[in-house]
Amino acid sequence: MFLYMDYERNTITEQIVWQIIAEEPDFMDIRVAQPKICVLDCMLVKKSEGRLVFADIKAVPDQYKVLCDMDYIITVYTRNTFLLTDEQFKILLEHELRHIEIKNTKKGIVMGTVGHDFEDFYAIVDRYGMEWSKCLDG
C-alpha cells in the first residue's frame, strides 16, 4: 500500500534536470520542445528483478494531463539513492532523460518514452567510462 504522502515534488531536482538538459548536446530535441518535467521523491523502496530501482520516468498520458499539467514525471526512490554522490545522482538523472522521445509529426509534437538503445549506452560510456553503472551501485 502507498499513500500520496510517500511522494513529494522536488523542484530543486527539477532545476538540476534542466541544467543537464541545457548542457548535454544530445538533448537538443528536449530543449526545443520544452516539455513539462516534474520530479517526485518517493519514500518507498522499489525493486525490479531483485535489484534496486533508483529512478524511473513516465510520460503522462493525455487523459491525465487534465489532472496534472505535466508531460513527464521522473520518480526518484530516495531510500535507494541517499548514498549517491552529486555526480552519481546527475548520471542517474541523465540516464532517465535519455528515455524521453520527442517526435515532430503532421499533428504536432508527440511526446513519449523509449527503452535505451546502443547509442544511449555509448553516450553514457563515452561521458563517464565503462564502469559508469558501478557509480550507481555504490
Answer yes or no: are the C-beta atoms of 81 and 40 closer than 8 Å: no
Residue 1 has a pLDDT of: 44
Give the CATH class of 4-137: alpha beta
Q: What is the pLDDT of residues 6-31, one digit of tens each?
A: 999 999 999 999 999 999 999 999 99
Q: What is the dihedral of CA 19, 87, 96, 80, to 10 degrees?
A: -130
Instruction: In whole angstroms, give the CA distance from residue 115 to residue 68.
Output: 24
Measured in degrees and rounded to the nearest 5, phi and psi for residue 2 equal -135, 155
pTM of the model: 0.83
- Please report where in the chains the cell 521523491 appears, as a residue: 41
